Structure 1
């Protein structure tokens, strides 16, 4: 009876919750400055899976005293594989035709995804999920599928074992599952390291708490045991909890940082627990949350959420590779969203649903019908699919290029070694000498002898990301007392810790140059904290970001301009305004500089400092 009840009841509000989750993820990827915590849509997906899978398995076990593993696996893989394979084929074909630099590690990416272990491969070989600048992979987001499928494979067997062990004491199964969730969250907290998030972010064991919380809810709040007729007071309480946790879920999208220590030391677990309560109110037929989250838009998005999630990242990566989205992020965000939704709808209508309902016993008949003249319309779908598959296979057969460092990467690596040595000399009080009468330096930077001499005497601390490293040799050539602290991939939100360390070591000079924002948006709180650490007595020269291929460019630059207006000691170094029309100053990534760009970058910093240090 329970099985029949569960099968008849489709909870449309859960589609609404899926829609909210996938909207959060997409906004995070398109405009992380708007929803820095949008990545938290993933734990919502995981706890929904944990809940419904557990409910279904327990009902089956209670009705038949067994679980049909083959039927369970067949049902899951039949739903997951077609869309994944279609995305892998289309993406590989695109890479083969237009972006062959991404052929590196492509074969490993394909087979690990087909075996559902891509998340573990990413731990050792992939980039950080939050590395939003150079060399982004269009497959990074697929780590989630690995975690989910590994749960599908292992959980039915583990659940049967637990149900058999505690046959007469079913309630103990619940607490074992809750304990597993807590242990997973503790493992995430223990293994967390700010320098490398891959292990805790991609690991199945460290992300299992969302799935286990969903499973725990499935055991204490089984859908087939929930009664629609409950007291008004209980219904009101459920509605109050539902609205409160819904607001908390959405609030998390805008507040929790994917690189903050608190996120991995309990906040993500707390967020998943909040989502568990929200899900409980949605699935209960006596509450009104199901109706609140039911509408045509949410239902449409929710039913297509899997396809939307799978296709969204390749669309963004490929689009942003050819279009300067930073100049008009909202317009380009809408265009990308339209492309994602269009592809997802085509996939859902012509691929996901037909295959989900297809009887594979009719495969021979279907193949024969393709050669029937009356069925020529089928070739409108089959033809392009075969062409894309052929291109993808060709791409996979090409010799895989070896990862090679670009000229910019080589220069940054070399500069990092050079500034480390120079910083040691400066810290030891060894003053590097510059020939102030050198015509080559004066001509190179278009400065006078007086200006070069003044710059030679200034003690400066320069803190930044890879752009700062790229220009560090020029900076220390012109300003030999400049202590440069640059790091590839540095986020503005991480910089307060860097400044605190420099201050404690006595390395924070009276002139501080900041160059941040290349790798992501900066929280207002981080800006305030940086300026508080530097203090009002030091002079801050903040360089605007030139990142035309990323949506956060304008928001970062607006923050810098706002800081310069509201703080007397903060001065604007408007690199973006100076360089925006000079494409020849930049390398192919449009962010790091060519030699000419490095000279102009350094000269702008130097002349701005001289303007306020006469």
Structure 2
């Protein structure tokens, strides 16, 4: 498809092509990202759509800049920056203002750092702010933000600002395209190596995931392709062999991208030591095949659905997180119908994106801002041609005012609620108890339900304190005496942190390591350190899965850290507000079938429909729920010990 483009000076860019298949590539990328966020179990590598966006941007921008340089002998930098701002800023500003307004009015728990978030996004440095202050992109529960995904827009904004200047410097100094491409290849490789070098585990994930320097290789690959594969220099007439060579390259590229979409988890070490680099290469080769007019790939990726999604992909990407997060906060029972809720969220995202495209992005993209003063003057005139449309000024000013107010009052730290205070208190108590617990564990001997010592203990009366504890947690004398001195290592997230005091009340020798927001891929290091020091108890309790999906491979890795000579009691998750609840529990149960030393403690089934056991989030047990949680753990471990003997 041919389309003539013009630059700011009005000079025509001859032979410039609108490559409709690029809309298809954008569509594939944004579909991957959306499905990943809504149904992470179905497409665990969908987040890799972002490197594809980067590669497309790198190619298109560099290709157009070089066309302008070739035809005009110069580049209108101010014109370029103006076009980029007109394309990107209106929808971004609307999203920031609209989201800030909603948070101020209806979701004040998300007000924290709103001023900094809006400011850094307007300046396109939000990715660096995320590195210093943000949460993991893969933490889908603990304080998830409707702005997290905007990190990639900041990287693109930095690219638009700096790259035109660097490109012309390379053209003037190096001159030869092949030499320029070689230089870019070196920088792409260095960026990829830096990602692998800086990634040392979960603690450095934010740095490599959000960093401009560690993510730039995707954009550089696209730019490099534009230097050696300019769209206006590619011949439509090629041999049949060349055509099918290009087609096969496109097919293989799509196959590689699809494989990575399904297989490459964001917590996999290989993701940052080669996986994402491979995705960038596959995206670039697909762009090359699509850009060539002699191949069929462009035609294959051109259809009305892809065209619609591709042209609106910016808005779809922009509005996805606010819709998902606000919807999932209001609809508490997401896990009961994950697919239906996902379809509703997709519909909302598409409708909002279409409205944004029609009434914000497209009109303001072509608006001549030099006429802004005259437009404002005409707008306020009594006999203005705008008529009733002027009424839109009222809600617009209200939105801006409320958003500014929310930004002004936004705190820089999360105010602690009752649940957070309770978790913090219990964590502190557990930490103080842990040292003594480890010392007791090394001296204690495992007590079975039927050995001679148990018979002696049963003949004695419980102390007043023991009696009260057993009664409080609904335990019989035999159950309590069987478990209270059992060596136990408990590893978990905020659910376990919330319960740690109760757990150590019953299991007096329990060592508890729990942290708010802990993910399954963080547990391995904790367990390995405990085992290396000889502090890992024969019985290990695990409560993970609240904060994100988990894969069988991740569970296997945790179990490998523990070893087959330990008994593992894995607690199923109760997180009805997230769509991964069912899949997490199914994955845990499958692991128990594969490993004879893994035993299920089914907190999900036990607590189902017991809303009065939980705080308002319907996830963390309240004091009453913690009693039931501890009772279930104690009786489950007692039953295992009793059955074994």
Q: TM-score range by the shorter chain?
A: over 0.9
User: 1:318, CA displacement in angstroms?
Assistant: 0.9
Q: Does 1:182 align with 2:189?
A: yes
Bigger drift between 596-605 and 383-392 goes to 383-392
The alpha carbon displacement at 1:566 in A equals: 4.8
Give the equivalent residue in structure 2 for 1:47. Answer: 55
| Alignment coverage as a number of residue pairs | 613
Matched residue, 1:333: 342
* 3-state secondary structure, aligned to 2:251: helix
Residue in 1 aligned with 2:283?
Answer: 275
Aligned residue for 2:204? 196
Distance 2:302 2:279 in 1: 22
After the TM superposition, which residues 159-238 of structure 1 pair with which residues of structure 2 at under 5 Å, given as runs?
Answer: 159-167=167-175, 169-194=176-201, 195-238=203-246
The 5 Å alignment of 1:162-561 reads: 162-167=170-175, 169-194=176-201, 195-324=203-332, 325-364=334-373, 366-367=375-376, 368-369=378-379, 371-372=382-383, 375-379=386-390, 381-398=392-409, 400=411, 402-429=413-440, 435=463, 438-532=466-560, 534=562, 538-561=566-589
Q: How far, CA to CA, are the matches of 2:568 and 2:153 in structure 1? A: 45
Structure 2 Cα separation of the partners of residues 99 and 432 of structure 1: 50
Residues 5 and 224, structure 1, Cα contact 8 Å, conserved in 2: no
Aligned to 2:121: 113
DSSP 3-state at the match of 2:490: strand
Aligned partner of 2:9 in structure 1 is none
Cα deviation digits, residues 440-497 of structure 1 (max 9, x gap): 2022101122221111232222222221122112111101222323233222244345
Per-residue displacement from partner, 1:197-246 (whole Å, max 9, x unpaired)? 22211111111111111111111111111111111111111111111110
User: Following the alignment from structure 1 to structure 2, what is the Cα–Cα distance between the partners of residues 284 and 321?
Assistant: 46
Find the aligned partners of 1:222 and 1:271 in 2 and give their Cα distance.
Answer: 22
Q: Which residue is equivalent to 2:457?
A: none
CA distance in structure 1 between the partners assigned to 2:624 and 2:484 by the alignment: 22
The 3-state SS of whatever aligns with 1:542 is strand
Change (3 A) 1:404 1:187: same
**Equivalents in 2 of 1:375, 1:334: separation in Å?**
38
Does structure 2 retain, via aligned residues, the 8 Å contact 1:2–1:59? no
Contact 2:17 2:232 in 1 (8 A): no
Secondary structure of 2:484's counterpart equals helix
| C-alpha separation in 2, matches of 1:14 and 1:566 | 45
Normalising by structure 1, we get a TM-score of 0.94
Contact 2:551-2:587 at 8 Å conserved across structures: no
Residue matched to 2:451: none
Q: Is the 8 A contact 1:436 1:452 kept in 2?
A: no
Superposition deviation, residue 531 in structure 1: 4.0
| 1:7 Cα deviation from its structure 2 partner | 6.0
- Cα 1:419–1:394 change in 2 (3 A) is closer
Per-residue CA deviations over 1:33-80 (Å, capped at 9, x if unaligned) read: 222211111111111111111111112222233211101100001101
Residue 24 in 1 paired to residue 18 in 2? no
Once the two structures are TM-superposed, the CA of residue 600 in structure 1 deviates from its matched residue by 1.0
Whole-Å Cα distance in 2 between the matches of residues 47 and 276 of structure 1? Answer: 6
Alignment partners' CA distance in 2, 1:609 and 1:513 = 10
- What is the TM-score normalised by the length of structure 2? 0.90
User: Deviation string for 1:236-275 (max 9, x for gaps)?
Assistant: 1111111111011122112112122221122211211111
**1:593 is the counterpart of 2:621:** yes
Using a 3 Å threshold, how does the CA distance of structure 1 residues 77 and 533 change in structure 2: closer, same or farther? Answer: same
User: What CA distance in whole angstroms lies between the structure 1 residues aligned with 2:243 and 2:5?
Assistant: 23
| Cα offset, 1:361, TM superposition | 4.5
Q: What residue in structure 1 maps to residue 65 of structure 2? A: 57
1:142 to 139, 150, 154: 150
Q: CA deviation at 1:292?
A: 1.1
Which of 539, 553, 575 lines up with 2:603 in the alignment? 575
Q: Distance in 1 between matches of 2:396 and 2:26?
A: 29
Q: CA RMSD in A?
A: 2.4
User: CA distance change for structure 1 residues 323 and 7 in 2, over 3 Å: closer, same or farther?
Assistant: farther
Alpha-carbon distance, 1:29 to partner: 1.2
Aligned mates of 1:13, 1:352 — CA distance in 2: 21
Any conservation in 1 of the 2:208–2:215 contact (CA below 8 Å)? yes
Residues 496 and 526 of structure 1 are in contact (CA less than 8 Å); yes or no, is this contact kept in structure 2?
A: no
1:509 Cα deviation after fit: 3.3
Q: Tell whether the 8 Å contact from 1:509 to 1:538 is kept in structure 2 after alignment.
A: yes
- Unmatched 5+ residue regions in structure 2? 7-11, 446-461
Q: Which runs of 5+ in 1 are unaligned?
A: none
Quickly say closer, same or farther: Cα 1:452–1:420, change in 2 above 3 A.
same
Check conservation: 2:114, 2:406, Cα contact below 8 A: no
Compute the displacement of 1:571 (Å). Answer: 2.6
